[in-house]
Amino acid sequence: MNFEFREIGAADGCNSLSLGDASLTALKIFLRKEAKPLHAANLARTFVYAEKDTARVRAYVTIVCGQVSVSYLEPTERVDGFRYKDFPALKLARLAVDTSLQGQGIGNQLVDFVIGVALERVMPYSGCRFLVVDAKPTSISFYERKGFKKTGVVADDSGIVTMVIDLHRLLNTVNKVSTA
Ligand SMILES: CC(C)(COP(=O)(O)OP(=O)(O)OC[C@H]1O[C@@H](n2cnc3c(N)ncnc32)[C@H](O)[C@@H]1OP(=O)(O)O)[C@@H](O)C(=O)NCCC(=O)NCCS
């Protein structure tokens, strides 16, 4: 099967993503009903991993602008001298990989794509210090592997945890590695 990664398109098939667990139905419904109109309206941008021949979407990631409350972060994670109550951030709003394709590195690549967008496309032109995600309990360790840290704030009683990457520190690390 041949796949391509690109922004979501009007002709994409968004009805057949399989995620197994019923608790993940919201991710399927978002793709089916909301991803295209929100993308077109610039309210949430979605990028898909789709079958080349059929345009069936088998994985997707959605990005929005966001913010993270300074009070969510440990004192060591905060930025000295910043006097506002929220840090500007980019939010990884949705991420899903079809059950049949999980464990093959696609989720990893989709998160790397979002990190790349933040570092290369957003940060050079806009204040944007953190990448933030509201992680479901079953995906917390997946995001920890990617460098996200739990803020300790549970977004609601479903166990969802807000997690962040400090993009400025990440950029400095990348720059140190590339100049070494
Ligand atoms: C979480 C999810 C996106 C991961 O995608 P994936 O393509 O299966 O992940 P990858 O194959 O890229 O895995 C990358 C690494 O994370 C690990 N990993 C994958 N899913 C994991 C999980 N749920 N918990 C902990 N580790 C996980 C893999 O073992 C792999 O480790 P390695 O680099 O040492 O080999 C995918 O399982 C999914 O769509 N789950 C259902 C929806 C969901 O939970 N979305 C997140 C909403 S917050």
Looking at the CA of residue 136, tell me the nearest atom of ligand 1. Answer: 48
Average pLDDT, the chain: 94
For residue 142, the domain's CATH number is 3.40.630.30
Domain count across the chain? 1
Tell which phi-psi region holds residue 32, choosing left (phi > 0), alpha (psi between -120 and 50) or beta.
alpha
Query: How confident is the model over 2-34, as pLDDT tens digits?
Result: 999 999 999 999 999 999 988 899 999 999 999
Q: Does position 127 have pLDDT exceeding 90, yes or no?
A: yes
CA 142 to chain centre: 12
Residue 1 has pLDDT above 90, yes or no: no
Average pLDDT in the 104-129 region? 98
Q: Relative to the CA of 140, which ligand 1 atom is closest?
A: 24
What's residue 179's pLDDT?
79
Residue ranges of the alpha helices (H) in the chain? 25-29, 35-40, 106-116, 140-145, 167-179
Ligand 1, atom nearest to 133 Cα: 48
Separation of alpha carbons 18 and 20, rounded Å: 6
pLDDT number for residue 154: 80
Q: Measured in angstroms, how far is the CA atom of residue 59 from the centroid of ligand 1?
A: 12
Per-residue pLDDT at 64: 98
Q: Which residue owns the Cα nearest ligand 1 atom 16?
A: 142
User: Which protein residues are within 6 Å of ligand 1, measured from CB?
Assistant: 19, 24, 27, 95-97, 102-108, 135-136, 138-139, 141-142, 145
Range of the domain at 166: 3-179
The structure tokens listed for 31 are: 């793709």
Nearest-CA residue for atom 18 of ligand 1: 142
Q: Find the range with the poorest average confidence among 106-110, 143-147, 158-162.
A: 158-162
Structure confidence at residue 156 (pLDDT)? 75
pLDDT band at 180 (very low <50, low <70, confident <90, very high): confident
Q: What is the mean predicted confidence (pLDDT) over 159-177?
A: 90
Q: What is the mean pLDDT of residues 155-166?
A: 89
Show the tokens assigned to 144. 């920890």
CA pair distance 62, 48, nearest whole angstrom: 9
Q: What is the pTM of this model?
A: 0.95
Point out the ligand 1 atom lying closest to the alpha carbon of residue 59.
39
**Rounded distance from Cα 140 to ligand 1 centre (Å):** 9
